[in-house]
Amino acid sequence: MKNGRSVVLVVEDSPIIRMGAVELVLSAGYEALDACDADEAIRILELRDDIDLVFTDVQMPGTMDGIKLSHYIRDRWPPVKLIVASGAAILEESILPGGSRFFSKPYDELTITTAIAHLLASETLHTRSI
Amino acid sequence: MPQIPTDHLEAASTLAVVISSKDPLLFLSDDLRIIAASTSFCRAFEIDPATVSGKRLGELGNGEWAMPKLQSLLTATATGSASVESYEIDLKRPDQKTRQLVVHAQTLDDGDVDHIRLLLAITDVTDMRAAARLKDDLIRDKAILLQEVQHRVANSLQIIASVLMQSARRVQSEEARGHLQDARHRIMSIAALQRQLSASPGGSIELRTYFTQLCQSLGASMIAEPERLSIQVTVDDSIVDAEVSISLGLVLTELVINALKHAFPDDRIGTIAIDYRSSGEDWTLSIADNGIGMPGGEDAPKAGLGTGIVEALVKNLNGVITLTDANPGTVVTISRRETSDVQADLSSAA
């Protein structure tokens, strides 16, 4: 959270898709950050403690793909919510960390913003119940 | 002809048959001495034919046939306690690649019960196995390549959809924004097919899954209040070619977009029902809404790009479009009748 707004980190190697995803996050009323691969995403996560959700691609160059990144994040920053998008038509949600959502590309914007809203809402409820 | 060093003389015809066997064959006594070896055996395993007769199996060549497993199997076959059918062994020779062999042993059944003799047939399957492995590798490579192509296609479609969305956000004109959003729906319609194709073998499409996914995608992006508007999909078990399904999918996309945009103004509640059924070559696709109905006369809307796309695709599918007033709402029916076409041709010819 930053100034009362949830912060979403977009991880995507294609610049145009990244731009589109950042706009999608902004237009839904969230704060947006972006990284072009897993390594940059981890650097950003290490620098800031206000990231609520990571929206990542699967196929990316670098040391980790989006699936490995999502497990790494769940391990190291357990409260961070995860949305994974891939060009693969079918991807078992079971290979992703529990509670994360998968969408195949091309994704629909409303579907993604709805998923972000749900995941962030469940976080708020969770925090309240503690 | 090699001499037989046993006191028992084999019939010359038996020896001739063994020696001329096309596939490698050994004729052995019950103590595993070679009575005769086929020329094909000597050639395949590089053994001098003049040296074989009377030798023990284990002494052949450089002793590479002295495989304890093979010997015990042959002994068991000779005593009748086991049979060797398609047993696999590896033939290892110095400075040569290991050969994979399939051996088959049986006793010679010529009525002479005092002299047990064995026939050992050997097939070298090394090359066959290598070819099968290569084929498996190729099939796997092809699957990986195909998957890679599908990822790229999905990513490219995502790039196009992203660009269209970004443009739609920036334009000032409501009309231009509408056109850009429609373009994005058409892309998503093709993407839904692509997704379905990548999961189905042989390039044919199960229409029920495809139409359901397509309408879900259209609903997700166009219906802001799901409790007000819904899309129902009823499709039989039809499976069609990718080529046909893309036309049907685009027609469906246009008609559903059209109904969602125009049939339910002023927060009207309603349903769009999609129905597809086929029988042989004939099929019917209907898109029914319970909205305000189509304005006629001077209020009739001007034909747009959507209408053009639908007409062109339906014509290409040899279909006919029918518009019916459903009171309330509109039913658009697209049907293809193989039989009625024939009748029409006949009547015009008469």
Confidence class for position B11, pLDDT limits 50, 70, 90: confident
Nearest Cα residue in chain B from A88: B151
Report ipTM (2 d.p.).
Answer: 0.82
**CB-based contact A86 B151, cutoff 8 Å:** yes
| Cα distances (Å, whole numbers) of residue A16 to A23, A36, A65, B72, B160 | 11, 11, 19, 70, 9
A24-53 per-residue burial string, b: 16 or more CB within 10 A, e: under 16: bbeebebbbbbbbbbbbbbebbeeeeebbb
At B181-231, the pLDDT tens digits run 889 888 888 888 888 877 776 778 899 999 998 898 888 878 888 889 999
At A55-86, the pLDDT tens digits run 999 989 989 999 999 999 999 999 999 999 98
Nearest Cα residue in chain B from A58: B151
Q: Is the domain A7-129 a CATH 3.40.50.2300 member?
A: yes
Separation of alpha carbons B77 and B72, rounded Å: 9
Q: What is the pLDDT averaged over residues B5-12?
A: 69
Separation of alpha carbons B19 and B21, rounded Å: 6
- Pick the residue with more confidence: B158 or B2? B158
What is the reported pLDDT for B344?
47
What is the reported pLDDT for B335?
94
Q: Is the domain B130-349 a CATH 3.30.565.10 member?
A: yes
> Would an 8 Å CB–CB cutoff place A87 in contact with chain B?
yes
Is the pLDDT at B237 greater than 60, yes or no?
yes
Any residues with CB less than 8 A from the CB of A15 and at least 6 apart, and which?
A36
Count of alpha carbons within 13 angstroms of residue A19, beta-carbon side: 12
SS3 call for B317: coil
Start-end of H helices in B171-241: 174-199, 207-222
What is the reported pLDDT for B205?
87
Structure tokens given for B15: 């020896």
Q: Supply the mean pLDDT for chain B.
A: 86
| Superfamily of domain covering B12-124 | PAS domain (3.30.450.20)
- Closest partner residue to A89 (CB to CB) among B158, B161, B199 is B199
Structure tokens given for B271: 């349903």
Nearest Cα residue in chain A from B144: A88
Per domain, the residue ranges of chain B are 12-124, 130-349
Start-end of H helices in A13-108: 15-27, 38-47, 66-76
Confidence class for position B51, pLDDT limits 50, 70, 90: confident
Which stretch, A8-12, B6-10, B168-172, B280-284, has highest mean pLDDT?
A: A8-12
Any residues with CB less than 8 A from the CB of B338 and at least 6 apart, and which?
B280, B281, B282
User: Closest approach of chain A CAs to the CA of B253, in angstroms?
Assistant: 15
Name the DSSP class of B260.
Answer: H
| Cα distances (Å, whole numbers) of residue B119 to B15, B19, B28, B75, B84 | 11, 12, 6, 12, 11
Q: What are phi and psi of B27, to 5 degrees?
A: -115, 115
Q: What is the pLDDT averaged over residues B269-274?
A: 95
- Alpha-carbon torsion angle B80, B86, B92, B95, nearest 10: 140
Structure tokens given for B16: 């001739």
Amino acid (1-letter code) at residue A66: G
Count of A–B CB contacts within 8 Å?
A: 75
Residues of chain A with pLDDT under 50: 127-130
| Cα distances (Å, whole numbers) of residue B77 to A92, B56, B107, B159 | 52, 17, 7, 69
> Would an 8 Å CB–CB cutoff place A26 in contact with chain B?
no
**CB-based contact B152 A87, cutoff 8 Å:** yes
Q: What is the pLDDT averaged over residues B120-145?
A: 90
**CB-based contact B154 A88, cutoff 8 Å:** yes
